[in-house]
A and B are shown apart, each in its own frame.
Chain A
Amino acid sequence: MTPGGPTPIPEPAFEGAIADGQGTTLPAGLTHEDLIRSRDRFRVHNARQSRRRWYLLWLLVGPGILAMLGENDGPSMISYATSGATYGLGFFLPFIVVTFGMAIVCQEMCMRVGAVTHRGYGQLVLERFGKLWGWFAAGDLVVTNLVTLIAEFVAIRVGLAYFHLGAGVAAVLGVVLVLFTLSGGRYWRWERIVLGLATFNGLFLVAAIMVRPDWGSVGHAVVAFSPLPGGSFNTLLLLIASTIGATVTPWMIFFQQSASADKGMTPDDLRHGRYDTVAGGVLAAVFGCGALIAGAALATHGGANIQGLAGAGFPAALAAVSGKAVGTVFALGLIEAGAVAVLTISASTGYAAGECVGAPHSLNSSARGAALFYGANIGAATIAAAIILIPGAPLLSIALNANVLATVLLPVALVFMIMLANDRELMGRWVNGATLNRVAIGIVAFISVCGAAYAVDSFLQATHVL
């Protein structure tokens, strides 16, 4: 509390009422989920009243940072490191910063729509634009989430392989983490555990510092977008599409809007929601650049052939070139990146399933009260975990293509998001401004062109037309 400031309001008897809420004593129209969310809102209200600014910020951050650091996932970090290993420092370093700038614009809209409407993306698309579009959106999400989840388990597996642990350990670790974080039946608990895990995304920055890059070259690359990458045009397109898919994806849109609504954010919290989103974007850009800088240490050691290093892959290659400690830090980073993404992507699958079917979909609900939400959450993680146990899976290819698939399906999700954020009937005075709309439409066009360019070029090569 600020010395001499207003005194916090005493907390009503939430605990007793929430315990009662497990039974049948709640008045008609009220649910257990309402009580838990009300308690979280009480804390926000109290912090705001007593002008405890940092505590208020602490209470309101979460969905933005989780969406952004969740997207700094295993495939993304492998994609950034591959860009670094293939091209060294240069174009891709500032390109990561630009793509996170795009992500901030898109995710701010998600947060705002969630806080104003208190509804998730899937639910709004379904109700506002009809079942066909709602199910299309959910279908896109299920496909990209499943492929991405497989890639997350691949990343955990790659990280664990460095410590001589097998795919079975990766599969069990991921599923146990999902079960553990869901076990509390509280959004707040889930969010804080995942935020705690996500701080270890900073390991990629540690790895970057440990490879002792030439900071002058890093600074020059960021400012000058150079040197420009050479070599195969198709590989360049793959890495551009993959880098975009590593920063803005359909699951992030579903996740941040649903999580903002589940957290109980309101229009009064929009400013803090923006801080949360920008902080997430900045952290993710810095850590993503860290992965690229670490990967760039391999550029002069046959980095382009990194796929040939099956099994432990990047961590082992880094250990050989820059020392065992760097390999260890990078391997731990991959385990963290995969694990956090497994949690957030599974959650987005659960939200989408519940929203599209119209079933309860909140981390504040009990497993019994929201069986479909919890079932989809755990089921998605379990299916992906089972798939990585199949021997001989092409690890790096799955990881890179998961991001590309997300990129090509993203424009549809973004167009609906822009339409929702401009829907005056839903959003009232919180609709997008004209400048934001121009920027958002430009982002959709840019992503569509990049995704299509890679898809067409690779398709023509695969069919031997080129």
Chain B
Amino acid sequence: MTDREREELVMYLERDQLVSDTGRPVSPAQLSRRVKVGLWALRVFALVVSAMVIYTFIAQL
């Protein structure tokens, strides 16, 4: 298979769709302190509420 034929085979993909490109990490986001606090508050909320649901489920068995 020639280089041209190989190129033709992947020409229907966008360049950033190739596995070699999607495997390259994107840069980390810069989160403000307020956003970080908000995310932690949401995480604690989700864990507490999940624990309540799991406890109730077990208690009802």
Asked if chains A and B come from one complex, the reply is yes
Q: Which of A38, A129, A130, A408 is within 8 Å of B13, CB to CB? A: A38
Nearest-neighbor residue (CB-CB) of A401 within chain B: B57
Pairs across A and B, CB under 8 Å, 16 listed: A13-B5, A27-B3, A31-B20, A34-B10, A37-B17, A38-B13, A39-B12, A41-B17, A118-B22, A128-B26, A129-B28, A266-B14, A401-B53, A411-B46, A415-B39, A462-B55
CA distance A29 to B9 in the complex (A): 13
Q: With A27-B6, A129-B31, A455-B52 in contact, is A34–B60 under 8 Å at CB? A: no
Q: Which of A16, A27, A412, A463 is within 8 Å of B42, CB to CB? A: A412
Closest 10 CB pairs of A and B: A41-B12, A459-B52, A455-B52, A462-B59, A458-B56, A408-B49, A455-B49, A42-B12, A462-B56, A127-B25
CA distance A124 to B55 in the complex (A): 32
Q: Which of A44, A117, A394, A408 is within 8 Å of B61, CB to CB? A: A394
CA distance A15 to B61 in the complex (A): 55
- Report yes or no: A20 in contact with B1, Cβ–Cβ below 8 A: yes
- Report yes or no: A448 in contact with B17, Cβ–Cβ below 8 A: no
Chain A positions 105-155 with a Cβ under 8 Å from a chain B Cβ = 117-119, 124, 127-130, 133, 136, 140
CA distance A85 to B37 in the complex (A): 43
Shortest CB–CB separation between residue B61 and chain A, in angstroms?
6
CA distance A27 to B10 in the complex (A): 11
Main secondary structure of the interface of B (DSSP, over half): helix
Q: With A266-B14, A405-B50, A459-B52 in contact, is A397–B9 under 8 Å at CB? A: no
Nearest-neighbor residue (CB-CB) of B61 within chain A: A394
- Report yes or no: A264 in contact with B26, Cβ–Cβ below 8 A: no
CA distance A124 to B25 in the complex (A): 8
Shortest CB–CB separation between residue B3 and chain A, in angstroms?
7
- Report yes or no: B43 in contact with A412, Cβ–Cβ below 8 A: yes
Residues of A within 8 A of B45 (CB): 411, 448, 452
Residues of A within 8 A of B8 (CB): 12
Q: Is A227 an interface residue (CB 8 A)?
A: no
Quick one: CB contact mask for A396-430 with B, threshold 8 Å, 1 for yes? Answer: 01000100110011011001000100010110000
- Report yes or no: A423 in contact with B29, Cβ–Cβ below 8 A: yes
CA distance A370 to B53 in the complex (A): 35
Nearest-neighbor residue (CB-CB) of B48 within chain A: A455
Q: Which of A12, A394, A415, A448 is within 8 Å of B9, CB to CB? A: A12
CA distance A133 to B50 in the complex (A): 17
Residues of B within 8 A of A129 (CB): 28-29, 31, 39
Main secondary structure of the interface of A (DSSP, over half): helix
CA distance A415 to B61 in the complex (A): 33
Interface range on chain B: under 10, 10 to 19, 20 to 34, or 35 or more? 35 or more
- Report yes or no: B17 in contact with A264, Cβ–Cβ below 8 A: yes
- Report yes or no: B42 in contact with A128, Cβ–Cβ below 8 A: no
CA distance A423 to B14 in the complex (A): 20
Shortest CB–CB separation between residue A387 and chain B, in angstroms?
14
Q: Is A180 an interface residue (CB 8 A)?
A: no
Q: Is A52 an interface residue (CB 8 A)?
A: no
- Report yes or no: A29 in contact with B18, Cβ–Cβ below 8 A: yes
CA distance A82 to B14 in the complex (A): 47
CA distance A461 to B22 in the complex (A): 49
Shortest CB–CB separation between residue B32 and chain A, in angstroms?
12
Residues of A within 8 A of B6 (CB): 17, 26-27, 30
Q: Which of A12, A117, A133 is within 8 Å of B39, CB to CB? A: A133
Shortest CB–CB separation between residue A446 and chain B, in angstroms?
15
- Report yes or no: A408 in contact with B53, Cβ–Cβ below 8 A: yes
Q: Is A456 an interface residue (CB 8 A)?
A: yes
Q: Is A205 an interface residue (CB 8 A)?
A: no
- Report yes or no: B46 in contact with A38, Cβ–Cβ below 8 A: no
- Report yes or no: A411 in contact with B22, Cβ–Cβ below 8 A: no
Q: With A128-B29, A408-B50 in contact, is A118–B43 under 8 Å at CB? A: no
Residues of B within 8 A of A127 (CB): 25-28
Q: Is A451 an interface residue (CB 8 A)?
A: yes
- Report yes or no: A411 in contact with B50, Cβ–Cβ below 8 A: no
Quick one: CB contact mask for A418-451 with B, threshold 8 Å, 1 for yes? Answer: 0100010110000000000000000000001001
CA distance A212 to B13 in the complex (A): 51
- Report yes or no: B52 in contact with A458, Cβ–Cβ below 8 A: yes
Shortest CB–CB separation between residue A365 and chain B, in angstroms?
9
Residues of A within 8 A of B29 (CB): 128-129, 419, 423, 425
CA distance A128 to B28 in the complex (A): 4
Chain A positions 1-42 with a Cβ under 8 Å from a chain B Cβ = 12-14, 16-17, 20, 25-27, 29-31, 33-35, 37-39, 41-42
